[in-house]
Structure 1
Amino acid sequence: MSNVLPFQVGDTCSFSKTITETEVYQFADITGDYSQMHTDEEFMKTTKYKTRIAHGIISLAIGSTASTLIQVQAKASLPSVSYGYDRLRFIKPVFFGDTLTAKYTIIEVDEENLRTRAKVEVFNQNDEICTYAEHILKFFPA
């Protein structure tokens, strides 16, 4: 393990969750994003998707949970915050009822700046990648 930060390159954690219609509507309530892509089944029948899709950012939020869990797994004692996401891509749509698994893998440990970088890959139940991003986690001395 590194001298200060609780991670090594290659450390990984995952988290799975099924996305429900109720949760998509709750997310729309929180954000105010009632796009017809998420809420209008009749409209969506006329598109290539043929049904409503979840907000892309919901899949990224599943990855955020994995970033918390990897810190619990490592028994991280330093406080940290999300410093941001790079290279975010919504590759495949997420449909109501899909079970997503976020895999969070440390790809860089920067002791000098007290940061880690991880790839966040979110897969559906068919093992198809839906979302990809790189997450920067910033630690602070206690």
Structure 2
Amino acid sequence: MSNRVPFEIGDTISYSKTISESDVYLFAGITGDFSQMHMNEEFMKTTPYKTRIVHGVLTFALASTASTLIQVQAKAEIPSVSYGYDRLRFIKPVFFGDTVTAKYTISEIDEENLKSVAKVEVYNQKGELCTVAQHILKFIPFEK
């Protein structure tokens, strides 16, 4: 077993999902966020969006799946925890029925502190960038 970050700069993976109405309602139930932006179609018809929008945090959460998948892809032998996200922005709304793709790309590696930094980009089916962030993974060294 190796106590090193299992990635190279530029390693990437993507995860795609179509966001359904039930996804949004389940997420609202879990988080307690029942904002009319997500729940009230008639109200949203009066806004520039013209329809309900998906919780930004729900679309952003797909980055967590991508971070797990890149570790599987790398056959990571060392465990890790999410150390946090920086520079999170919701650039464009995601609508019910949109298919979003979270792209996760390793941009920095800190072997001394056993951390990696990844660029997170979430696109809709039109290729429009909807969400961005940086994700830091902290790897947990094995005891010697």
| TM more than 0.5 | yes
- Partner in structure 1 of residue 4 of structure 2: 4
**One-letter identity of the residue aligned with 1:20:** S
Instruction: Give the Cα–Cα distance (whole angstroms) in 1 for the partners of residues 35 and 139 of structure 2.
Output: 36
Q: 1:35-50 maps to which residues of 2 (within 5 A)?
A: 35-50=35-50
- Partner in structure 2 of residue 20 of structure 1: 20
Once the two structures are TM-superposed, the CA of residue 103 in structure 1 deviates from its matched residue by 0.4
Once the two structures are TM-superposed, the CA of residue 3 in structure 1 deviates from its matched residue by 7.7
Structure 1 position 93 matched with structure 2 position 117 = no
- Partner in structure 2 of residue 34 of structure 1: 34
Percent identical among aligned pairs is 73
TM, length-normalised to structure 1? 0.97
Ranges in structure 1 where 5+ consecutive residues have no aligned partner: none
**One-letter identity of the residue aligned with 2:38:** H
TM, length-normalised to structure 2? 0.96
Instruction: Give the Cα–Cα distance (whole angstroms) in 2 for the partners of residues 136 and 127 of structure 1.
Output: 25
CA shift digits 1:12-34 (9 cap, x unpaired): 00000000000100000000000
Instruction: Give the Cα–Cα distance (whole angstroms) in 1 for the partners of residues 35 and 119 of structure 2.
Output: 29
Instruction: Give the Cα–Cα distance (whole angstroms) in 1 for the partners of residues 136 and 4 of structure 2.
Output: 16
Once the two structures are TM-superposed, the CA of residue 97 in structure 1 deviates from its matched residue by 0.2
- State the SS of the aligned residue for 1:38: helix
Ranges in structure 2 where 5+ consecutive residues have no aligned partner: none
CA shift digits 1:54-101 (9 cap, x unpaired): 000011111111000000000001110000000000000010000000
Question: Quick check: 2:78–2:139 contact (8 Å CA) kept in 1?
Answer: yes
Instruction: Give the Cα–Cα distance (whole angstroms) in 2 for the partners of residues 26 and 126 of structure 1.
Output: 25
CA RMSD of aligned residues (A): 1.1
- Partner in structure 2 of residue 123 of structure 1: 123
**One-letter identity of the residue aligned with 2:61:** A
Instruction: Give the Cα–Cα distance (whole angstroms) in 2 for the partners of residues 38 and 3 of structure 1.
Output: 44
- Partner in structure 1 of residue 112 of structure 2: 112
